[in-house]
Amino acid sequence: MAPMIEDSLPAQHGSRPITKSGEGDTRPSLYKDVDEKILNDAVENCIANYGTKFEKDIIVGSKGLYVYTASGHQCLDWTSGQMSCLIGHGHPEIVSTIHDHAANLDHLFSGMLSPPVINLAKRLTSLLPPGLDKAFFLSTGGESNEAAIKMAKVYTGKFEIVGLGASWHGVTAQALGTQYHFGRKGQGPLMPGMHMLPPPNAYRSIFRNPDGSYDWETELNYGWDLIDRASCGSLAACIVECIQSSAGMHVLPTGYLKALKKHCEKRGMLLIVDEAQTGVGRCGDLMAINHEDVVPDILTLSKTLGNGLPLSAVVMSAEIERVCTERDFCFYTTHVNDPLPAAVGDKVLEIVVRDNLVEHSREMGQHLHAGLQRLKSRYGCIGDVRGRGLMAGVEIVGDREKKTPALELARSIAREMYELGLWANLSSHSSFGGVFRIAPPIVITKEQLDRGLEIMEQAFSRTEGSMPLY
């Protein structure tokens, strides 16, 4: 059994806990005494909007599986921060690693190498299948995808990139060019040569077999036929997520990734797999590619690798690295191969392997999905439950037969869940309606899962319009 981070407070059910700084307050002490009103006033004056609506509460602490607000509200964090704190907030070994490297080996000239970077590259590539042989490290997922796309262009000598509808790969120029979920508007022309395949949405796709099941093969072939017609003959790569999280937790159908690679090979393209959220055990395999036994030409990691610190990786074959080096590939940044975040990434991988957290994630994922399916059997507003491992989506609808989106109902349920002590990010973009995205730290216990599922049950039961079935 994997060692778990200690819970700092008992479960809160039924009402929002309000505590004040002082005796009996077990919030992390760093910001216990802040004045939430003063901070919220300052937000209006000095915090710029960057494309999201800010939550009303100010977070003053995070520990283990919980986050804490300035008013004393404790909340189970079922999104691991921004889907990143894979082994929980404030994991003691991560804290120690950060402390030691902040004090002794933090940041270097970008042409210098250090033991943490070499150790991380060695450990990471040893855990991946042959063909993913060499790695370098950056800061964000968008940055790693940017580098992967550039590498594919340099290696192939071509420039057209294919992405999946509803994808999210980052907000830098090339990553955004192949991102079809959100963020494309307002800046004029995007990168040339970007093409889109239909989003593999098993719940809503119009491509159906005679028995009503999802006909993803026809849909995929149709998409490639359109791309072949639109292409100018310079197809370089296809980039894909194994689970389209921002799109509402849509899992690639079994066989899809293998078929996609065959399409790429047929056209002389590279396959890039973006495992920002699925990598490092989240889905019950060390990497999501292991589940389908597919080796991409380039693999990108971020989020989970750094457990909340800005760390990403680009991993490729020795041959791709060799050719790109000969052709003067350059992705030289201020924080490429920084020692401190690399040390954290190496420690994350060590813990995940040492503590059997991949198997634990698989087992806890089965428990989570069984609980979510029970909820679906009880409430007619749940149209679909999907995902794999400790990564799940719950889609809220107004009518199961018509699959009518019910975003306002989903928001009401989300508010109730939060008040009861559970944070499970509600994706609300119009491309998919209201979907709860669930991805707790993979150190979560069965008891903590049951606690969260109980809160969800209470939230559904208390929300008008949830359509109880019994």
Active site residue 168: yes
Residue 308 and residue 81 in contact, taking contact as beta carbons nearer than 8 Å: yes
Residue 137's pLDDT band, with cuts at 50, 70 and 90, is very high
Residue 102's pLDDT band, with cuts at 50, 70 and 90, is very high
Q: Hey, what are 246's tokens?
A: 């921002």
Q: Are residues 219 and 128 in the same domain?
A: yes
Q: Given 354, 384, 407, which residue is the final one in a domain?
A: 354
The CA-based angle 102-104-107, given to 5 degrees, is: 60
DSSP run (H or E) holding 273: strand 270-274
Active site residue 41: no
Domain that holds residue 266: 94-354
Residue 23 in domain? no
pLDDT tens-digit series, residues 270-328: 999 999 999 999 999 999 999 999 999 999 999 999 999 999 999 999 999 999 999 99
Q: Are residues 163 and 101 in the same domain?
A: yes
Residue 133 in domain? yes
What is the number of other CB atoms lying within 10 angstroms of the CB of residue 407?
Answer: 18
Which of the residues 146, 274, 297, 321 is marked catalytic? 274
What is the number of other CB atoms lying within 10 angstroms of the CB of residue 176?
Answer: 22
Q: Are residues 77 and 195 in the same domain?
A: no
Residue 1 in domain? no
pLDDT tens-digit series, residues 138-149: 999 999 999 999
Distance CA 293, CA 403 (A): 33
Sheet architecture: strand order including 422-423: 59-63, 66-69, 74-77, 422-423
Q: What is the CATH number of the domain that holds 163?
A: 3.40.640.10
> Coil, strand or helix: which one is 35?
coil
Burial 75-108 (b: 16+ CB within 10 A, else e): bbbbbbbebbbbbbbbbeebeebbeebeeebeee
pLDDT tens-digit series, residues 433-466: 699 999 999 999 999 999 999 999 999 999 999 9
Check whether 221 has a pLDDT greater than 70: yes
Q: Are residues 265 and 381 in the same domain?
A: no
Residue 12's pLDDT band, with cuts at 50, 70 and 90, is very low
Q: Averaged over 154-175, what is the pLDDT?
A: 92
Active site residue 374: no
What is the number of other CB atoms lying within 10 angstroms of the CB of residue 330?
Answer: 9
Q: Hey, what are 41's tokens?
A: 């006033």
Q: Are residues 349 and 365 in the same domain?
A: no
Q: How many domains does the chain have?
A: 2
Which of the residues 27, 63, 146, 168 is marked catalytic? 168
Q: Given 298, 320, 354, which residue is the final one in a domain?
A: 354
Burial 294-326 (b: 16+ CB within 10 A, else e): bbbbbbbbbbbbbbbbbbbbbbbbeebbebbee
Q: Are residues 34 and 110 in the same domain?
A: no
Check whether 431 has a pLDDT greater than 90: no
Residue 162 in domain? yes
Active site residue 303: yes
Residue 31's pLDDT band, with cuts at 50, 70 and 90, is confident
Handedness of CA 335, 336, 342, 345 (dihedral sign): positive
- At residue 36, the pLDDT reads 86
Q: Are residues 275 and 350 in the same domain?
A: yes
Residue 159 and residue 191 in contact, taking contact as beta carbons nearer than 8 Å: no
Which of the residues 158, 267, 282, 303 is marked catalytic? 303
User: Any bridge partners for residue 138, and if so which?
Assistant: 312
Which of the residues 179, 277, 448, 458 is marked catalytic? 277
Residue 197's pLDDT band, with cuts at 50, 70 and 90, is very high
The CA-based angle 448-454-457, given to 5 degrees, is: 145
Residue 308 and residue 64 in contact, taking contact as beta carbons nearer than 8 Å: no
**Nearest Cα to Cα of residue 426 among 441, 409, 442, 443:** 409
- At residue 26, the pLDDT reads 61
Q: Averaged over 377-398, what is the pLDDT?
A: 96
User: Residue 312: what are its φ and ψ, rounded to 5°?
Assistant: -140, 165
What is the number of other CB atoms lying within 10 angstroms of the CB of residue 219?
Answer: 20
Residue 13 in domain? no
What is the number of other CB atoms lying within 10 angstroms of the CB of residue 137?
Answer: 27
Residue 388 and residue 398 in contact, taking contact as beta carbons nearer than 8 Å: no
Q: Averaged over 416-441, what is the pLDDT?
A: 86
- At residue 15, the pLDDT reads 41
Active site residue 122: no
Q: Are residues 127 and 167 in the same domain?
A: yes
Q: Are residues 333 and 310 in the same domain?
A: yes
Q: Averaged over 194-209, what is the pLDDT?
A: 95
Residue 78's pLDDT band, with cuts at 50, 70 and 90, is very high
Distance CA 370, CA 232 (A): 47
Residue 467 in domain? no
Q: Are residues 294 and 336 in the same domain?
A: yes
Residue 6 in domain? no
Check whether 121 has a pLDDT greater than 60: yes
Q: What is the CATH number of the domain that holds 33?
A: 3.90.1150.10
Q: Are residues 126 and 56 in the same domain?
A: no
Q: Hey, what are 279's tokens?
A: 């990598």
Q: Hey, what are 347's tokens?
A: 């420690």
Stated pTM of the model: 0.92
Residue 376 in domain? yes
Active site residue 216: no
Pairing of the two strands 243-244 and 434-438: unpaired
Q: Given 304, 330, 354, which residue is the final one in a domain?
A: 354
Which of the residues 437, 448, 451, 458 is marked catalytic? 437
Check whether 4 has a pLDDT greater than 70: no
Q: Are residues 63 and 160 in the same domain?
A: no
